[in-house]
Structure 1
């Protein structure tokens, strides 16, 4: 699956226009030239220092260190892409960056020379980090595993509630910020309804299952109707409450067909859920393909909805890639 910077991501980013693509190409060429200058400067300085330090092949030291920085960065991104990340690999380019900067600083004789020698390799390192950040962001957008950030203004204006929102996003793997806001909005409405129904001490009188669903943000309307009614406050001790009359059970209807009716709804398998979701979302736009919308339409759990969302997005990305390859083949022909 290829990653195209000129196409809009799943988060709704519009595609780049033609002038923006030209600007992107110009910046990429200029950045490559600046990175090559930094690499060449680091090569000359570290090679000369390695020759003074007694290295038999002085060119191997700068080449081995400076080239290893983008190599390990690319290896880390590829591991993330194939869903086999290693946490310690991310720190290898940073350690090599410190090493090459220190070697360049040691190659200088005066303070200004040390500063100049230490700055030049940073051009190559910064270019590698920018490319890694762009590719990592696109990987997260394609696979749906990149967690969107919360606005800084929300952190400043409502820190406690924002921290609680960020905590729920982290604990329950809610990668979409808009989905998290929708769940939080619904949770606040459900909480207000429970408070209106049970009073100020609603936490004490609300059933435990309802409280858990409210905490998870998955308190569905069906769950609300199943909650027990609020307890009736006891009356005066002198007055006795009349005992309710026992109701006569309704007569069981006679089975005329001889076939037993199913007691409950059968559980749908993962393939059935995916087929149904694929059918109902065929006409949806990419920005409308969210876990919350799928959950409400297919009537499934939030975990299944997130799985269906990731599968549908992956299918659409694969189909888009095939279309681009077909168009490229047609143009080449």
Structure 2
């Protein structure tokens, strides 16, 4: 950037009077500058014209309004006088000298000039009053007024003789009134502008005394004021003083050789013709560096913004591609879903048909199985009848055993009589024990009868269980057929109903199998329980019979051997040990006390010990 390209930092020139800039793009200086560099006293000269005083913003009083009205009236009178004096001379001169065809045309020419001047003056004053002045309109007014003055002066020029002094005075007299009128108009325009724009800076005039004393330096100051819009004459003189003081300071610094100063130090002298103050010129390098840095930062910011926009555009493009791809995948998924749904529906219908056929086949198989189970139930019923007959036989046998027990009771009573004849207390106890044994046998016979009755009831329960199992199987078959019909209906309606039907059918089949298995287990357990009960009853009866026979044989042998009561008691305990498996320790002492009717556990223990020794010595009941 060159010095003349530096941005404008000073105040803009007044548009009314500013001339075109001499240097393109050169800055205009600010009218308010910093303090001078040198320590010289600041000199501010006063203006002699008084134009630097600002107009009062107060409203006009009544007297001032009347005064203004009188001034306007006198100005109009002056305009009328000027028009009257110049009209005839201009019209006559136009007809005779300017070759207008007639006097009337010359008069129209004079009227046109005067009307044009008045119209432009009126527009100028009106726009000034509206605070929108037109600065160039005064120049055509001045030009037309000058033309009027020239025409008036030419109309009074001497003919056929040389110009004399009075001729010049006469020619000048023709231009006095128009010039006076233009001065009045300019005065009125300036007054209106000051009234309507009281805050506008006024342009100071340079004192005439300065023009006389220093015409060259004053012309340079005037040129700079006009070029760079400096309205204050004291401000302009202060700038000139600062520049002179700065130049003197440089001379002192470099011993009178300013050429040794750097380019930055010489800037105030170089930039003074362009309206820069000393402070502004010295601040230019820093401002230029700052501006260059700001331009670099702005360029970097624009580059980053461009990169950001590029990245955003790329991201948006990628997002658009992803959205487009997502839409394609969505459509593909919809098509695949519809295809899969159709296939699933077809598979569901086929599966439902297969399931219905399978359920029908299972129903037929269940019917066959139910029929077979009915036959098995009938066979089991017959077997139960046989078991009931066997139970009746057992009951009859129990009656016979009861009779045998009664006979044994009679024998025991006979033994009691025999024992009474012996007269021994021990024999009486033995008789009582035998009597108790006989009573126990009677109780055992009664229990056997009750067991036979229980077996009969168990057989009846078997028959009822078979009937209930058959009813359960029939109900399961009906439930399976109903589930099959429900599955057919659901498969015809929707795929979801078909799936639910398959699940229900599977659950039904599982429950049916579980019920069937449980029924079979119950039947098997019942049959096994009946068999075990019958076997237990038979074994108990056999055991009791064998015990009764053994006891009877032992008693007969003991009576035949005429053993003592203690020996018979030891042999009885030995037989009791054999009934518990042959281990003496497994026989409770309480049982010995109850059978032998002894109260002392020590005595019972002695009996058990001696009985064990008797068995060890080879005792065998019945021998």
TM-score, normalising length from structure 1?
Answer: 0.47
* Structure with more relative contact order (C-alpha pairs < 8 Å, separation 6 or more): 1
Question: Which structure dedicates a bigger proportion of its chain to helix?
Answer: 2
Q: Larger C-alpha radius of gyration, 1 or 2?
A: 2
TM-score, normalising length from structure 2?
Answer: 0.28
